[in-house]
Structure 1
Amino acid sequence: MSAVSSVPAADSATALAHFSASLSFETDCADVHAALATDDPRSLDFVLLDVRSPAHFARGHVPGTVNLMHGKIVASKLAAYPPDTLFVTYCAGPHCNGATRAAIRLAQLGRPVKIMIGGITGWLDEGFEVAVVDEESPRRDPLALD
């Protein structure tokens, strides 16, 4: 018996409940990209938060993103947004828990929140372009700090 099958899979009803619920907590880069590609910015129904450091953000981020490090998420920084605003957080990628930390802080503040799975790594893997703060910054690797 392989390590894969040594623990039996959940029954179909349990699997359906689990995987359906996961979409309440996360979205992916392709769905975010499609939403951002709309011709009418007023139809955008979420705020995308890049919770990495300002240096990483400057080197490359999802266009239209707000940069707010997870440790800086407090009620006063969110006051301009209506209470029902959906926030979608992302960080470096699957090896980083910054998006989760940000989601926890937002949930503690009573804000609706999802995580963009994959982070900026997933965004780049999908082949989507990044924006840079300083046009002199290289676009080759927005995660590198030199």
Structure 2
Amino acid sequence: MSVEYFAAKLAHETDPSDVAAGRDGLVVVDSRSAESWDQGHIPGALHLPTAEIAGRARSLVDRDAAVVVYCWGPGCNGATRAALEFARLGYAVKEMIGGFEYWAREGFAVETGDGGVARRSPDPLTAPAGDGIACAC
């Protein structure tokens, strides 16, 4: 029973490190509001608020694409709702656990609405500090 649960969980979730490592071929979707998007988002992500997925996804996202959705962070279930919308449309979709919060906290690049890109130092409580150190998980 535990094997099936954890296998299913990994089939439907990914994390910021895995998204950063495997971005080629992924369609990363930010499901937050325009104001949130402008405040900061993953470079190269597609902005598609959850309420617009049913009506716009088919015209923006290839049906065979591997889709990863995210929202603010672990205190928000917006990405879960967005993933459900993509799943209802028949897409292969995963939710990025930790959301935008952990993307930024792990030190990955963040783009703002005006096109600026910044990178903060990794938070040592969420990612290994220093060059060449990996969590090996």
Q: TM-score range by the shorter chain?
A: 0.7 to 0.9
* Separation of aligned partners in 2, 1:124 and 1:80: 25
Partner of 2:72: 92
Structure-1-length-normalised TM-score: 0.74
Asked if structure 1 preserves the Cα contact closer than 8 Å seen for 2:53 and 2:86, the reply is yes
More strand by share: 2
Seen in structure 2, the aligned counterparts of structure 1 residues 68 and 80 have a Cα distance that, compared at 3 Å, is: closer
Asked if structure 2 preserves the Cα contact closer than 8 Å seen for 1:94 and 1:119, the reply is yes
* Separation of aligned partners in 1, 2:39 and 2:119: 7
- Partner of 2:111: helix, strand, or coil? coil
Does residue 1:55 correspond to 2:55, yes or no? Answer: no
User: What is the aligned counterpart of 2:9 among 12, 19, 22?
Assistant: 22
Provide the aligned length of Structure 1 versus Structure 2. 120
Seen in structure 2, the aligned counterparts of structure 1 residues 126 and 134 have a Cα distance that, compared at 3 Å, is: same
Partner of 2:101: 121
- Partner of 1:56: helix, strand, or coil? helix
User: Cα RMSD (Å) of the superposition?
Assistant: 2.2
- Partner of 1:73: helix, strand, or coil? helix
Please state how far the C-alpha of 1:17 moved relative to its aligned partner. 2.0
Query: In structure 2, what residue type is equivalent to 1:71?
Result: A
Identity of aligned residues (%): 42
Query: In structure 2, what residue type is equivalent to 1:88?
Result: V
Does residue 1:74 correspond to 2:74, yes or no? Answer: no
* Separation of aligned partners in 1, 2:100 and 2:80: 14
Q: Which runs of 4+ in 1 moved over 4 A?
A: none
Larger Rg: 1
Asked if structure 1 preserves the Cα contact closer than 8 Å seen for 2:27 and 2:61, the reply is no
- Structure 1 residues not aligned, in runs of 5+: 1-13, 37-43, 141-146
Structure-2-length-normalised TM-score: 0.78
Please state how far the C-alpha of 1:87 moved relative to its aligned partner. 1.2
User: What is the aligned counterpart of 1:32 among 19, 36, 39?
Assistant: 19
Query: In structure 2, what residue type is equivalent to 1:30?
Result: S
Query: In structure 2, what residue type is equivalent to 1:33?
Result: A
Asked if structure 2 preserves the Cα contact closer than 8 Å seen for 1:60 and 1:139, the reply is no
Q: How does 1:3-22 map to 2 (within 5 A)?
A: 14-22=1-9
